[in-house]
Amino acid sequence: MADGDGLMSVDYEVYGKVQGVFFRKYTQGEAKRLGLVGWVQNTSHGTVQGQIQGPTARVRELQEWLKKIGSPQSRISRAEFSNEKTIEALEHKEFQIVK
Catalytic residues: 24, 42
Measured distance CA(88)–CA(57) in Å, rounded: 16
Angstrom CA distances, 53 to 21, 26, 60, stand at 24, 17, 10
- Find out whether 31 and 52 touch, Cβ atoms under 8 Å: yes
The number of CA neighbours under 13 Å toward the Cβ of 9 is 15
